[in-house]
Structure 1
């Protein structure tokens, strides 16, 4: 008996149709699953891309923060100031930067993003506060610089004024010194021979062999500027050869004129009283005098106050 009956053929068609429906359904499911997988992959790629972009942006933010804190450190150093807390901030930011750059090789989670974003905001506030502090310091320094400049200008003017005053005082003192210069008047050289007799210089010439001692008499002119005080008058007797008589045993020595040492033959102390007082020197050479013109110079207070000459034959 044949099985190819209409009923069997109908069943086969139904079976084939069912299989086709199943295959089509499976294929549709596979297509849908592949689409979902692709969509998910693209979404994950987008998420990774966004995370990478966020990471790079955060790295740039920290690099900018580090640069700004270093700028602040340099500005403070330029003002001669140091700030340990600022250096600590720079070190902390540098450490955070190293950690952020390490996320290029590992996962950068949302919690990491929030953590570094919050820290960056906190650093930003510190940066702003420090900029305001530095700005105030600069203003204060400018005020101090201006005040210091004004002070230096005033000091320079005062120094100049003081120098001018000193110069004026020096000039006045010099004028007073010159005006107070004593003047020896009526200088007279008397010869004393071995018998003690004197002869004045009316002839202006004496025999050298007969001279035992010399007496130099003079008067001091009135001078109302000169102070009434103890003074010293120095006598230099200069022989014909140009050398001053000098003998330590008879009281000779040196004194200064214009900062240079000068030999004197004799000296005497007195108290100037502005009464045209008379003074004298008696000098014993204890040796024969040389023939020729002799010069007698009188000095007081650093000035030559009188001069005369006499001749021994």
Structure 2
């Protein structure tokens, strides 16, 4: 009896130990499975985190690329140039950015990561080449700008020289024109009566009622500057009331003096030969002359060349 009891107790112990071992095994298995599950979850979370980091980095990279291409486009425009390929690249980058941002709500696969990374690398190569091209263009523009400034400086200097020469020539021309003006010397006024007799009073006063014609004689001074050519000489006989005698039938007309139309009483065409030649006008009014002081003005080439007065009483 005692032996059976002992055996039963021993069996119970083995059973309890077996159960404990089984429970420990199950707990071990559960712990292992839980640990494995946690590891897998951690790996998945890490993978998601890395994907998200990769996605955000790629988005930032594409935003930077787009900004750089826009910068290049602005630099070219500042130089007066345009580039359709840059516009196309910016459109392509904007499309890629839109696609990348859409991955925030979806899966950014390894294939996608590789694709956009390669595209970004290609864009960076193109960006670098374009920067080098723009740098060369800027250098060329600086050289051209310097050469253009040099040309402008020379042009301004030449223009100043031409202006100075023109002014000098103008001054010389004015001096020559002034020096070439004719001069009437020794102007003498005589009266002619109806019998054709000339009279010259010492006091230069004549009786108006006896005057039929007025004769004005003078000598043209020698002038080495004046050209030997045909010259027109106009005489203005101004009466005491200030009006010049004017009669188309007697050869009167108009001419320009200082840009203004002026009446002349008579005109002579002569050939100036620089010999100190004598010239005279004989003018018949056809009516009785007015009493008082008369003025004789002589003009050539629009300039006053001589002047005198005489009085009729």
Give the TM interval when normalised to the shorter protein: over 0.9
SS at match of 1:107: coil
Residue of structure 1 in register with 2:147 after alignment? 147
**Which residue does the alignment assign to 1:78?**
78
Q: Residue in 1 aligned with 2:25? A: 25
CA distance in 2, matches of 1:88, 1:264: 82
Question: Which residue is 2:35 aligned to?
Answer: 35
Q: Structure 2: how far apart are the matches of 1:103 and 1:27?
A: 42
C-alpha displacement at 1:227, in angstroms?
0.6
Are 1:232 and 1:301, in contact at CA under 8 Å, matched by a contact in 2? yes
Distance across 1 between alignment mates of 2:54 and 2:290: 117
Unaligned runs of 5+ in 1: none
Give TM-score scaled by structure 2 length: 0.94
Deviation at 1:224, TM superposition (A): 1.1
Residue matched to 2:48 = 48
- The alpha carbon displacement at 1:5 in A equals 5.6
Offset from partner CA, 1:73-129 (integer Å, 9 cap, x none):
111111111111111111111111111111111111111111111111111111111
Instruction: Report what 1:181 is aligned to.
Output: 181
- Partner residue of 1:258? 258
Q: Report the equivalent of 1:207.
A: 207
Counterpart residue number, 1:156: 156
1:79-94 equivalences under 5 Å are 79-94=79-94
Residue in structure 1 matched with residue 295 of structure 2 by the alignment: 295
3-state DSSP of counterpart to 2:38: helix
Q: Which residue is equivalent to 1:114?
A: 114
2:286 is the alignment partner of 1:286: yes
Report what 1:310 is aligned to.
310
Instruction: Give the distance between the partners of 1:251 and 1:131, measured in 2 at CA.
Output: 86
| 197-206 vs 289-298, greater mean Cα deviation | 197-206
**Which TM-score applies when normalising by structure 1?**
0.94
Match of 1:95 in 2: 95
Q: After the TM superposition, which of the residue ranges 178-187 and 134-143 deviates more from structure 2?
A: 178-187
**Cα distance, 1:275 vs. partner?**
1.5
Q: Distance in 2 between matches of 1:100 and 1:243?
A: 101
| Aligned-pair CA distance for 1:241 | 1.6
Q: Is the 8 A contact 1:238 1:245 kept in 2?
A: yes
Deviation at 1:196, TM superposition (A): 2.6
> Distance between the aligned counterparts of 1:147 and 1:202, measured in 2?
79
Per mean C-alpha deviation after superposition, the further-off stretch among 238-247 and 4-13 is: 4-13
Q: Which moved more, 1:193-202 or 1:85-94?
A: 193-202
More off after superposition, 91-100 vs 199-208: 199-208
1:10, distance to aligned residue in structure 2 (A): 4.3
**How many residue pairs get matched?**
311
Gaps of 5+ in 2: none
Structure-1 residue corresponding to 2:197:
197
